[in-house]
Amino acid sequence: MDASNDAPAPPADRPGTPRPFREAIVDLDAIAANVRTVAARTAPAELVAVVKANAYGHGAVPVARAALAGGATRLGVADLDEALELRAAGLAAPIIAWLHDPFADFRPALAAGIELGVSSLDQLERIADAAARRGAEAARIHLKIDTGLSRNGIAETDWAGVCARAAELERQGTVSVVGVFSHFANTSREADAAQLRAFEHALEVTAAEGLRPPLRHIASSEEALRDPAARYDAVRIGIAMYGLTPFGDGTTSTDLGLVPAMTLRTRVAAVRRVEAGTGASYGHLWRADRATTLALVPLGYADGIPRHATGGGAEVRIGGRLRPIAGRVAMDQFLVDVGDDLVAVGDEVVVFGDPATGAPTADDLAAAAGTIGYEVVTRIGPRVVRSHVGGAGA
Ligand SMILES: *Cc1c(COP(=O)(O)O)cnc(C)c1O
């Protein structure tokens, strides 16, 4: 849901208007700045801004605009419908979509000038057929080689055959091979190196079959930031653009000079003083070890707070201080142990945001729940009102 176009102006601009009960505020200037920060490290490779899954929950259209303003030259999505939504919103930049319904009709995407990832001979034939039936320009395709992730992508054993067929279709004018790509499994440095060697080999075969694709790309955020040898002609950047870390080794977004773009906040809905020994929330997994105050936060797993964050040491910011989640995260709410501090109904609660403001990050919440920041921001639920700030001129 994108509240920026049809909803009233952000509450900050309208004194006296209560903010939405639960809100996710996305700072488009942070998106643009993160793109600039990454691009400064990965240039001259061009930067493909990955805005699949509603821009990891941040709002695909405004994020795509901000990313292009920050220097991205292409947009990447999984589904054709995601690509068509961007086109319909007036985004004219090249867009690549790489995960296709087996029964997809490729003609609307071709008519919209969407570039298509190709992961099998069958997809190649169906795309060429759709282009031939349209009788207009050639379909712009990126052939995907499986170098070790074992998801989609053309198997190494089939690669030469598919390249030969693509070269034939290129001569017939139904397809134009603009890219060859792959995706890392993020398993280990050694496994990444093996995938790079497999990619190099695939590129040699591609050339031997007579194809000269200008865009070779394999790296997403992690390898793009870590390994210059993985950058080739383009890098596909998702998580780093949102200001979260791609690394699982403890490297934080702050270490990388990135700014988390999304802030999730709400208001304290109730406050209760409890005696030592009092149990709270389902199953009484938490019990007061002293007299203390509990603040009720009206966000739960329906809103994207992982239930697995229960007992994981997650903290939220209330009244300028970080305070621990107490007990089970429920569907609509969780409790926070605020000790003897004065916390009132209506006080702001920041569940995650920019650490420069003293907030925990989505990566912190993810770590407490045994998951990754990607999942936390992508799963923010429909009750949370999303709004955008910044991005002037984007
Ligand atoms: C999601 C995705 C990316 C972006 O990955 P990040 O780790 O978020 O940078 C890049 N390439 C492909 C094929 C993807 O599916």
d(CA 99, CA 80): 8
- Asked whether residue 314 is domain-assigned, the answer is yes
Same domain? For 230 and 270 the reply is no
pLDDT of residue 311: 85
Measured from the Cα of 242, ligand 1's closest atom is 8
Q: Does residue 5 have a pLDDT over 70? A: no
d(CA 234, CA 218): 8
| Average confidence score pLDDT of the chain | 94
Q: Does residue 4 have a pLDDT over 50? A: no
What's the gap in Å between 221 CA and the centre of ligand 1? Answer: 7
pLDDT of residue 20: 81
End-to-end CA distance of the chain: 19
Pocket test for ligand 1, best of 42, 50, 75, 150 (most atoms within 8 A of CB): 50
Per-residue pLDDT of 200-242, as tens digits, reads: 999 999 999 999 999 999 999 999 999 999 999 999 999 999 9
- Asked whether residue 320 is domain-assigned, the answer is yes
| Residue list, ligand 1 pocket, CB within 6 Å | 50, 52, 98, 183, 220-222, 236-239, 246
Q: Which residues pair with 265 in a beta bridge?
A: 23, 350
Measured from the Cα of 98, ligand 1's closest atom is 13
pLDDT of residue 186: 85
- Asked whether residue 235 is domain-assigned, the answer is yes
Same domain? For 218 and 295 the reply is no
What's the gap in Å between 145 CA and the centre of ligand 1? Answer: 15
If you take atom 13 of ligand 1, which residue's CA is the nearest one?
183
**Residue 187 pLDDT grade (very low, low, confident, very high; cuts 50, 70, 90):** confident
Same domain? For 272 and 343 the reply is yes
Known binding-site residue numbers: 151, 331
- Asked whether residue 238 is domain-assigned, the answer is yes
pLDDT of residue 15: 54
d(CA 71, CA 245): 20
Q: What percent of the chain has pLDDT over 90?
A: 89
Same domain? For 269 and 238 the reply is no
Host domain of residue 320: 261-389
**Residue 26 pLDDT grade (very low, low, confident, very high; cuts 50, 70, 90):** very high
Measured from the Cα of 239, ligand 1's closest atom is 8
Task: Kindly tell me the burial class for residue 152, based on how many C-beta atoms sit within 10 Å of its own C-beta (0-12, 13-18, 19 or more).
Answer: middle
Structural contact between residues 214 and 250, judged by C-beta atoms closer than 8 angstroms: no
Per-residue pLDDT of 88-140, as tens digits, reads: 999 999 999 999 999 999 999 999 999 999 999 999 999 999 999 999 899 99
- Asked whether residue 24 is domain-assigned, the answer is no
What's the gap in Å between 26 CA and the centre of ligand 1? Answer: 20
* Beta carbons within 10 angstroms of residue 130's beta carbon: 20
Same domain? For 53 and 168 the reply is yes
Strand 262-267, strand 23-27: pairing: antiparallel
Same domain? For 226 and 277 the reply is no
Same domain? For 144 and 230 the reply is yes
Same domain? For 190 and 271 the reply is no
Could you say which of 181, 207, 242 is where a domain stops?
242
Count: domains in the chain:
2
Measured from the Cα of 374, ligand 1's closest atom is 8
Pocket test for ligand 1, best of 217, 236, 241, 378 (most atoms within 8 A of CB): 236
- Asked whether residue 254 is domain-assigned, the answer is no
- Asked whether residue 205 is domain-assigned, the answer is yes
- Asked whether residue 374 is domain-assigned, the answer is yes
pTM for this one?
0.94
Could you say which of 242, 273, 302 is where a domain stops?
242
124: domain CATH number is 3.20.20.10
Pocket test for ligand 1, best of 215, 220, 363 (most atoms within 8 A of CB): 220
pLDDT of residue 312: 84
Which residue in this structure is represented by tokens 């955020």? 221
Could you say which of 187, 215, 242 is where a domain stops?
242
pLDDT of residue 188: 87
Whether residue 144 lies in the annotated active site: no
Q: In this predicted model, which residue has the larger pLDDT, 4 or 57?
A: 57
d(CA 203, CA 147): 11
pLDDT of residue 115: 98
Give the full edge-to-edge strand order of the sheet including 292-297: 270-274, 292-297, 334-339, 321-326, 315-318, 348-352, 262-267, 23-27, 385-389
Same domain? For 186 and 329 the reply is no
Same domain? For 173 and 319 the reply is no
Q: Which of 52, 56, 242, 374 is catalytic?
A: 52
Cα–Cα nearest to 369, from 286, 304, 319, 321: 304
d(CA 31, CA 79): 22
Same domain? For 231 and 374 the reply is no
Q: Which residues pair with 287 in a beta bridge?
A: 279
Structural contact between residues 112 and 84, judged by C-beta atoms closer than 8 angstroms: yes
What's the gap in Å between 51 CA and the centre of ligand 1? Answer: 9
309: domain CATH number is 2.40.37.10
Q: Does residue 394 have a pLDDT over 80? A: no
Q: What b/e string do you get for 299-329 counting C-beta neighbours within 10 Å, with b at 16 or more?
A: bbbebbbbeebbbbebbbbbeeeebbbbbbb
d(CA 365, CA 350): 12
Same domain? For 333 and 220 the reply is no
